[in-house]
Amino acid sequence: MPTYWCGGSVEMEKMSEDRNETSSMFQSRAGRMVRDILAAVIAVAAIGLAFVLAFMLATAFFFVLGLALLVGGAYWLWLKVRRGRKGEEGSPEILVATRGPKGWTVDGMGGSGQ
């Protein structure tokens, strides 16, 4: 193995040739074109995979959000049915509409037992 040093010698040229050696398949023009096409296909596949994973993550987020809204709505409805709407006295207020001199008016008459 030759010794390399920082100078403009034949050894430096040999070092750069060693680094740039490729397989015999990619030395021709057609081989380089195949290599470029393969690199482009791999790049497009990687970008496509990133978009698919982002779409799946967003879909999972919206699914969990919808499920949470559904459970929250069911809980709210259960509370309304179980407890009902309570006023100050614990019973709903009955409103009575009467016709007055200037139109209809609504007067509160108290709880349902009054």
Same domain, 25 and 60: yes
- Mean pLDDT, the chain, as a whole number? 78
Q: For 75-103, what is each residue's pLDDT tens digit?
A: 999 988 887 655 445 566 677 888 878 88
Flag whether 4 is in a domain: no
Output b/e per residue, 65-76; b: 16+ Cβ within 10 A: eeeeeeeeeeee
pTM assigned to the model? 0.44
Same domain, 79 and 91: no
* Segments forming the whole domain that contains residue 93: 86-114
Flag whether 79 is in a domain: yes
Same domain, 44 and 24: yes
Per-residue model confidence (pLDDT) at position 113: 43
- Domains of the chain: total: 2
Same domain, 71 and 91: no
Per-residue model confidence (pLDDT) at position 63: 98
Same domain, 31 and 50: yes
Per-residue model confidence (pLDDT) at position 37: 95
Per-residue model confidence (pLDDT) at position 50: 97
Mean pLDDT of 52-73: 98
Share of the chain above pLDDT 70, in %: 61
Same domain, 75 and 107: no
Output b/e per residue, 83-98; b: 16+ Cβ within 10 A: eeeeeeeeeeeeeeee
The C-alpha atoms of residue 88 and residue 86 are separated, in whole angstroms, by 7
* pLDDT level of residue 28 (50, 70, 90 thresholds): confident
Flag whether 59 is in a domain: yes
Flag whether 2 is in a domain: no
The three-state secondary structure class of 26 is: helix
